[in-house]
Amino acid sequence: MENKGNIFHRGVVKFVDDHRIVVGIVSQSACVSCQVGGSCNMSDMKEKEVEIENWNGTYSRGEFVEVIASESQGFRALFVAYILPLIILLFTLIILLQTTGNESLAALAALGILVPYYGILYLLKEKIKQTLNFSIRKLK
């Protein structure tokens, strides 16, 4: 797979069966790579699991691998998870503030509008999962 336009994450195979591979990826904040990265706390590191359903080769539990996704998938995930909710929140806040003049109501409604948004995302997670295609390769 070509390097240009892809996102790479190193991880460890946690589970393998005939239908899927589950890879654990440790996500780190950008400050971890700086010279004072040791002063960052462990909350900057989070383990995430990625399910891969189509792969070539044989993999075993505990093996170090690299998970690959396209940049466009990364941007789409970023948009759906962070940018669109921010736009919805700000839009709701501004509209309600202009129409009611009540800051407390506008703030609560703006935060409250995110509950159904993320609820809908949760209900659609299987459909969203089908649009995300990860590939995997062994580390050398």
Q: What pLDDT sits at residue 120?
A: 95
Helix runs in 60-131, H state only: 71-78, 84-100, 103-112, 114-123, 125-131
pTM over 0.85: no
State the chain's mean pLDDT as an integer.
84
- Reply yes or no on whether the pLDDT at 87 is more than 80: yes
d(CA 45, CA 71) in angstroms, rounded, equals: 22
Please name the residue that has the structure tokens 């970023």: 78
Q: How do residues 31-55 score in pLDDT, each as one tens digit?
A: 555 655 555 555 556 788 888 887 7
